[in-house]
Amino acid sequence: MAQNNFTNKLILGDNLIELQKLPEKSVDLIYLDPPFFSNRTYEVIWGDDGEVRSFEDRFAGGIDHYISWLKIRVRQMHRILKDTGSIFLHCDWHANAEIKIDILNKIFGRNNFRNEIVWCYTGGTDSKNRWQRKHDTIFFYTKSKNYTYNGDFEEFSDNTLKRFNKEDEKGRYKINKLFGGRITKTYMKKEGKRAPDYWYIPIVNRTFAEGIGYPTQKPEALLQRIIECCTNEGDVVLDPFLGGGTTIDVANRLNRKWIGIDQSVMAIKVSDLRLKKRQNELFAQPYEVVLPTYDFSKLQSQDGKEF
């Protein structure tokens, strides 16, 4: 897939089939937020037949079936990821141990594990017999040791700023009094302190301007942090479980190329509408909506079960 004639794509279809169509080593970053192994029917967001079938199929055989269902898809993601690419798999406590051991370690390799990012948030539950579950897990793996990482920085705390209370042409610094009366300067890094692997980012609720009513919608700030850290402008970002379209909306705004896949008609419609609202912006990119095509004569010749 040549970058110079690449077209952003919003694809309706089974992501396993659509991933198989993509060229090898053609994507720079993959973010996936697959349905969690929670057995909660809120995952059937829009209630169309495709979602209902997928939900029932995933959980019919328990955790082993779920891991098998997800694993064959992650294998395709590994195939299409560039050697310098990264994958971020978003999950929670229901299956994060199995996903790391049975899928990511086996496909990407233990040596290519980079971080277990903990996304912390508030709201929702009130358990009286255990600590409140207030985080998701995002596994960060790369395809090789040579990968894009632009760094991630946070602002210094007020206490740190108080210690670095002097300034010259090089920036803020603090005085170090060493043994023997020797004095040195330590300068504060202008970009900030390097961020830890736990992030507090509020969940999207009804009061948020970015909210679209999608129950499992992820914050734009979360995706922006990932995309900016591990891609550069013009790189290709893929989300094979697109949902409400946050990944491609952020990628579009950050001048990355993108591909979004979902089997739900309503998810594609919502994502398309979300992108259309940005078309008047200066850096809005063109895209195409790819719908499935069928050989109707072949379908008519099949019995119901084959269909």
Choose between 214 and 53: higher pLDDT: 214
pLDDT at residue 49, rounded to an integer: 59
Give the C-alpha separation, 185 to 178, whole Å.
11
pLDDT at residue 2, rounded to an integer: 42
Beta bridge partners of 140: 88, 115
Sign (positive or negative) of CA dihedral 208, 211, 214, 217? negative
Q: Tens digits of per-residue pLDDT, 43-75?
A: 555 555 555 555 555 666 789 999 999 999 999
pLDDT at residue 295, rounded to an integer: 65
Q: Tens digits of per-residue pLDDT, 236-275?
A: 999 999 999 999 999 999 999 999 999 988 889 999 999 9
pLDDT at 115 over 90: yes
Percent of the chain with pLDDT over 90: 59
Which residues, including other chains, have CB under 8 Å from residue 93's CB and lie 6 or more apart? 133, 137
Q: Tens digits of per-residue pLDDT, 160-212?
A: 888 998 889 889 999 998 888 888 999 988 888 899 999 999 988 766 777 77
Residue found by looking up tokens 């794509």 in the block = 9
Supply the mean pLDDT for the chain: 87
